[in-house]
Amino acid sequence: MENEAYHRHPAISKSHLDQINRSGLHYWSAYVDPNREERDPTQAMVIGSAVHTHVLELDQWDKRYAVAPTGIDRRTKQGKDEWRVFQTAAKGRSILSWTEADQVMKMGRAVWGHRAAAALLGADGKPEATYMWTDKATGLQCKCRPDYIFADGSTVVDLKTTEDASPRGFRGSLLRWRYWVQAAWYLHGVEQATGKRPDRFVFVAVEKKPPYGVGVYCADDAMIQRGMEQAREDLQKLAECKAADHWPSYSDDVESISLPGWMTGDATAPDLALTTEIEGF
C-alpha cells in the first residue's frame, strides 16, 4: 500500500488514538466532520518525511521530491517565469529548498554513520510495510505502518527527527508525542496481523541541527505495557463516541488545576492534578 493510500484509509492508527485521547471533539474535527478541510503538511513535516525517504527508501527520492534551484529571484518577471517552469517540471512532488535538501542529506549521513542505527536499518528487512487488523474488544478496524521491520519479524525500528536526541531530551519528545503508545501499538498490530509478536521496538532519533546527533533507544517492557493500556483506553473511548455519535470536548464543569508534584514537593501528586468539580458550579 502506498503511503498516501495508507493515510487515506479510515482504519484506526496511532494518530487517531492521539486525537481521541485529547477529546472526542478533536477526533471528530480531524476524521469525522464532513466539512473538514484537508490540511497541507507543514514544512517541518515535509522535511521529516524527506529524512525517512532518504534513509529508508532512497530509490524513491526523485519520485517524491524536487530540489529548488538556487538564485531564482521570484520578485522579478524572469524569476517568476523560471519558478513556474520548475514547478511544472516538479509534477506535484514535494519541493525542498537547497538548504533543506542539504539538511536532510546530512541527517541521513548521521544516521548511517551511527554504528547501532546502521546495523539496525541495514539488516535484512522491509521499510513502510502496512499491517491491518480488527480489534476484538471494540470491532474497530486498525492499522499501523512501521518505518522498518526485520525480515524475520523480530524487530521494529522507528526513525524519529528531533531537537534533542540525548536520553533526557528524547524522553521529553517521547512523552510529548506519545511515542510510548506508538511502540506498544506497533508491536500489537504486527502480532495481530501476522500471529507473531516482534521481540523489540527500537527508536532511532536524529537531531535536526548540527552536529546531527543520533541516539538509539529500545523501549522497555514497562513502556510497552503502559502504552498498550493507554491504547486500549483510547480505543474504548473512540468506540463509545462512535456508538453514541457523541463527540464531547473537555469537561463542561469548572475544575481546579494544580502544579505538578515535582514543583510543589508533593511526591504523591500526579503530574497534573484535576479535581472533578468546583462546588457552586
Q: What is the mean pLDDT of residues 67-76?
A: 89
Q: What is the pLDDT of residues 184-210, one digit of tens each?
A: 999 999 999 999 999 999 999 999 999
CA distance 124 to 117: 13
Q: What is the mean pLDDT of residues 24-38?
A: 95
Cell of 207: 537531531
Instruction: List phi, psi (to 5°) of 206.
Output: -125, 135
Structural domain tally of the chain?
2
Between these two residues, 113 and 2, which has the higher pLDDT value?
113
Determine the structural domain holding residue 213 and report its residue range: 3-40+113-250
Extract long-range pairs of 108-115: CB within 8 Å, 24+ residues apart.
Answer: 108/51, 108/54, 108/55, 109/212, 110/206, 110/207, 110/211, 110/212, 110/213, 110/214, 111/55, 111/159, 111/204, 111/206, 111/214, 112/55, 113/214, 114/204, 114/214, 114/216
pLDDT in the model for residue 235: 98
CA distance 199 to 254: 45
pLDDT in the model for residue 269: 53
Q: What is the mean pLDDT of residues 34-63?
A: 92
Q: What is the mean pLDDT of residues 155-177?
A: 97
Confidence of residue 244 (pLDDT cuts 50, 70, 90): very high
pLDDT in the model for residue 139: 97
Is residue 231 located within the same domain as residue 173? yes
Is residue 158 located within the same domain as residue 268? no
Q: What is the mean pLDDT of residues 87-102?
A: 92
**257: DSSP letter:** B
Q: What is the mean pLDDT of residues 88-92?
A: 89
Confidence of residue 72 (pLDDT cuts 50, 70, 90): confident
pLDDT in the model for residue 276: 36
Is residue 175 located within the same domain as residue 214? yes
Is residue 270 located within the same domain as residue 206? no
Is residue 140 located within the same domain as residue 219? yes
Please indicate, yes or no, if residue 56 is contained in any of the structural domains.
no
Q: What is the pLDDT of residues 254-280, one digit of tens each?
A: 999 999 888 888 766 554 433 333 344
Please indicate, yes or no, if residue 136 is contained in any of the structural domains.
yes
CB atoms closer than 10 angstroms to residue 44: 10
The CATH number that applies at residue 7 is 3.90.320.10
